[in-house]
Structure 1
Amino acid sequence: MHPTYFPNIATFAVIAQNDIQWEVEDNYQKQTYRNRCYICTDLGRLMLSIPVQHVGGEQGRQKYKEVLVDNSYPWQRQHWRTLQTAYRTSPFFEFYEDDIAPLYEHTFEKLLDFNLKTIQSVCDCLQIHMPKQKTIEYRPEPSDVKNSRFLVSSKRKLEIRQEKYVQVFGDRHGFVENTSILDLLFNEGTNALAYLRNQNTNFLNV
């Protein structure tokens, strides 16, 4: 499984229910959850995207673990302000605020390192073990593990049956499914782990 930016609920349900090995030896691809996540705001579903330094020309592709964050733009301040605006009235935002805010106060050089840190922070909030195992080589078709790398695709529609929970702007937009784990954490708080462990993950059997 790929480490992504504050993974969506489907991905975090897999993390909560299984032993995970992180894929860190693959090539970086654009338009995936590697550098984006979706939250709920007063305007509905909103994407938060981390700017990265793209390698072009003769250098060609680069590995995910080598991708650098473009910190010339104050994206961290923007993302945190957006999260504050979206979730300040949620039941558990203040409860977890001090755990999440430091991620937006320190500069990270590499995208992979930042993503792993976001996952670590959520695991700490959920009080579960952070998966540590990483790949040491890229294998297109691994045979001894379940390949869940497809979850990184932001364009792929998952067939999930997600139990509804109360969202801040649910009265305006209805239930918005499979958003970032932050949406579940800020709205459900201490119930989030039980929710993840009860989430159906049949979408893995594709």
Structure 2
Amino acid sequence: MSLFIPTYFSPISQYSEIVKADEIVFEMEDNFQKQGYRNRCYIYNSNGKQLLSIPVKHLTKDKRKKTKDTLVENNFPWQDQHFKSLQIAYRTSPFFEFYEDDLVPIFEKKYKYLQDINIDTFLFLKDALQLETDFSLTKEYQVETTEKDFRLLAEIKHQPEKLVEKYIQMFDDKHGFIPNLSILDLLFMEGPNTISYL
């Protein structure tokens, strides 16, 4: 079993471990950490690396909030912005149109909790990558675990140095290769071949 924190269209580093896992366990009892991949991902647009961040309702300073209880701030159309950003960045990529229709429900559904979005993005990617791996959710926080613990991959500062081999990216002729973007970047460029890269 491999232990992960569900994140928003996870970085390639997380999926390189997910595809190797016999069984995936998602940590549901961790405390929400700012500046992580729980509510953000990075894509490649014509200007370089672009952040897509899900707005969350701010926590009070003296209280910790579990990620599973983190509420999405829906007072402005972040979903429309994110989907348009993906369309602009990847509409001419080799495989975007192949996955576009399956992505639409994630950007149309109204979410209350951040974790629900992250699980839905995982389910989309599980289907897109044709992963047959089962997953389960923790019921209490795993302090020490006998499983392979990949929870740190949800933190931006804890990324492995060696990632996947370079692949062709949309704007690498302008900005060069950008490693460890959202798995969507690899998926839209490589399609069914994504698994062999991971």
TM-score by length of 1: 0.90
Bigger strand share: 2
Letter of the aligned partner of 2:74 in structure 1? Answer: N
The CA deviation at 1:162 is 2.1
Q: Which residue of 2 aligns with 1:96?
A: 99
CA separation of 1:153 and 1:57: change in aligned 2, threshold 3 A: closer
CA separation of 1:120 and 1:153: change in aligned 2, threshold 3 A: same
Q: Is the contact made by 1:120 and 1:130 (CA closer than 8 Å) also made in structure 2?
A: no
Give the paired residue count: 194
Q: Which residue of 2 aligns with 1:22?
A: 26
Q: Could you tell me which of 155, 158, 162 is aligned with 2:157?
A: 155
Identity among equivalent pairs (%): 49
Letter of the aligned partner of 2:83 in structure 1? Answer: W
**SS across alignment from 1:132:** strand
Q: Is the contact made by 1:5 and 1:37 (CA closer than 8 Å) also made in structure 2?
A: yes
**SS across alignment from 2:124:** helix
Matched, 1:50 2:44: no
**Map of 1:4-153 to 2, 5 A cutoff?**
4-18=7-21, 19-56=23-60, 60-129=63-132, 131-142=134-145, 144-153=146-155
The CA deviation at 1:54 is 1.8
Segments ≥4 residues shifted beyond 4 Å: none
Q: Which residue of 1 aligns with 2:178?
A: 176
5+ residue gaps, structure 2, are none
User: CA deviation digits over 1:12-42, x for unaligned, max 9?
Assistant: 1111111221000111111110000011010
Q: Which residue of 2 aligns with 1:200?
A: none
Letter of the aligned partner of 1:54 in structure 2? Answer: H
CA distance in 2, matches of 1:11, 1:63: 21
Q: Is the contact made by 1:25 and 1:135 (CA closer than 8 Å) also made in structure 2?
A: yes
**SS across alignment from 1:128:** coil
**SS across alignment from 1:151:** helix
**SS across alignment from 2:26:** coil
The CA deviation at 1:141 is 2.2
CA RMSD of aligned residues (A): 1.3
Q: Is the contact made by 1:4 and 1:35 (CA closer than 8 Å) also made in structure 2?
A: yes
Q: Is the contact made by 2:164 and 2:197 (CA closer than 8 Å) also made in structure 1?
A: no
5+ residue gaps, structure 1, are 197-206
TM-score by length of 2: 0.94
